[in-house]
Amino acid sequence: MTAWAILLIAAGLGILTVQGVVFAMLRNDSAPLLPPAGLTLQPERKAFTVAVFSDFAGQIDSVEKIGGDISRNDVAFTLCLGDIVKKRTALDFLHVTGEIRECMPCPVYAAPGNWDRNDVTGWETYRAYFGQDYYFFGYGDTLFVALNTADGNLPEEQRTFLAQTLKRERPHFRRCVIFCHIPPKDPRPEEEHAATPDFSAIFEDIIRPYRIDLILCGHIHCFTESEMAETRLVTTPSAGQEIREPDNPMFGYLLLDFAADGAIGIRRVDVTPDTGREEMEYFFTVELCRIGWFVGAVAAMIAGIALLPRGGRKRAKPPESGNQ
């Protein structure tokens, strides 16, 4: 019984130690991948390249390969268009943001996807790791506007934000790019994997008075080019989730070439047919730290302590004295 007691106590202590290390990481390495909201970076630049990837839901293996490919290009920054995690917990966000930091050679600015909303905390967990869920920034001569369309609509506060941002900021930039997760319309014929019709109409009404050069979206899991409100609408290939392109089984990303003459060239880059994640690392940094393991570890230690023998060794009775 003593051996079992020691084993249970050691197992419980081991789990709690791993959890303590991970939670220390959570506390010390939790700076979000903040976008430069409201700022204009490199205002003198007229030509630059931006990478765009989307839709991997924690399948980080393919994203690491995409990051390796991006590193071979002169990329100013990368846009991530959502569906970043699978289980939407702080631990999952911690794991994914750490992996993105390791594999991406340049800053990453994100917009959330429908997989990224926590059922309890809403967008607070996402914001803790990626900052604002809608915002704008300038880079060179181009205005970038991020929207949160992950619920398939455009809430009133974002309608106001978009209208005011375009009115105030659009005249100061040569080009304008809007990026989000769920597109305002499905670019594929006879498909309806997009936002609500109300959102599409409202969105068109807001952007129509302005020249928008490009709308970038994820969610569709395939590369498409179409038009909406006389504006170029592009969806990204999947970076790790189910591919919806029967003729192209490759995970990949886009390179946007912003030319000095004002044009925006788009290159699709196929990277790998394989995806997944490092299961052992994910187990120790995410699964092992969930509350169920904590409860199990404490229960194991209590059970082990209960199995320990009580008291010290019994003294042998002294021999009775008698007449020899």
Three-state secondary-structure class, residue 270: strand
Question: Which of 68, 78, 80, 56 is CA-nearest to residue 255?
Answer: 78
Write the DSSP string, 219-251: SS-S-EEEEETTEEEEEPPPSSS----TT---E
Rounded to whole angstroms, how far apart are CA atoms 194 and 186? 5
Give the model's pLDDT for residue 321: 58
Q: Is 190 left (phi over 0), alpha (psi -120 to 50) or beta?
A: left
Q: Which long-range contacts (CB under 8 A, 24 or more apart) does 310-315 make?
A: none
Rounded to whole angstroms, how far apart are CA atoms 29 and 35? 17
Question: Which of 294, 296, 312 is CA-nearest to residue 304?
Answer: 296
Query: Hey, what are 164's tokens?
Result: 């005011």
CB 174 within 8 A of CB 190: no
> Cα dist. 10→3, 169, 200, 212, 303 in Å?
11, 60, 58, 61, 11
> Cα dist. 82→75, 146, 148, 180, 241 in Å?
20, 11, 9, 8, 11
Give the model's pLDDT for residue 191: 78
Give the model's pLDDT for residue 121: 87
pTM for the complete prediction? 0.82
Which residues share a beta bridge with 176? 143
The torsion defined by the Cα of 101, 213, 152 and 62, in degrees rounded to 10, comes to: -30
Rounded to whole angstroms, how far apart are CA atoms 250 and 239? 9
Give the model's pLDDT for residue 324: 47
118 DSSP assignment: B
Give the model's pLDDT for residue 288: 61
pLDDT in tens, the chain (324 residues): 677 667 766 776 776 676 577 666 655 555 678 899 999 999 999 999 999 999 999 988 999 999 999 999 999 999 999 999 988 788 888 889 988 988 999 999 999 999 999 888 899 999 999 999 999 999 999 999 999 999 999 999 999 999 999 999 999 999 999 999 999 988 887 777 777 788 889 999 999 999 999 999 999 999 999 999 889 999 999 999 999 988 899 999 999 999 999 999 999 999 999 887 666 666 656 666 665 655 665 665 676 677 777 764 455 566 665 554
> What are the DSSP E strand ranges found in the chain?
40-41, 48-53, 77-80, 108-110, 135-139, 142-146, 175-180, 214-217, 224-228, 231-235, 251-258, 264-272
Rounded to whole angstroms, how far apart are CA atoms 207 and 184? 12
Rounded to whole angstroms, how far apart are CA atoms 235 and 229? 16
Rounded to whole angstroms, how far apart are CA atoms 266 and 234? 9
Give the model's pLDDT for residue 277: 65
Residues present in the chain in total: 324
Q: How many Å is the Cα radius of gyration of the chain? A: 27
